[in-house]
Structure 1
Amino acid sequence: MTSVDPEPGRILVIRVWFEPGPPDEAFRARIMMTADIESRQQEGRVVSSPEAALEVVSRWLRQMLP
């Protein structure tokens, strides 16, 4: 028997690129998140370090924990 998950689907997309300039200042990431893929509501962040990107993703994942 197949069961349907009553929770809405969630999605997080990360786009990474590098700006011109010094390597330690070049990193950029746009992080787009939604808690319900059926809605059109999105939240987005642009960060300038891998550590900041990890923090945004970690916070998003922790919000899903019961």
Structure 2
Amino acid sequence: MSWAGLAPGNNQSAGKKKSAKITRAGAYIKPMLVQAAHAAVKCTGQPYCKVKYENIARRRGKKRAIIAIA
């Protein structure tokens, strides 16, 4: 996930979190994984991804939720 640019950063010092944004790497593979995540969320046969997406989206927002699923 780090190579694809979907892993959050881990910048900590003295127990304080500084930044947790995803990186800008993976210009070609990241959009494909996000598109696959959108398809998985819309799938009705296996509701696991849809339920997980809805739970995260309710708390964190839709964009962060789709990155978490990807």
Query: Scaled by the length of structure 2, what TM-score is found?
Result: 0.26
Query: Scaled by the length of structure 1, what TM-score is found?
Result: 0.27
Greater share of residues in strand: 1
Greater share of residues in helix: 2
Which one has the largest radius of gyration?
Answer: 1
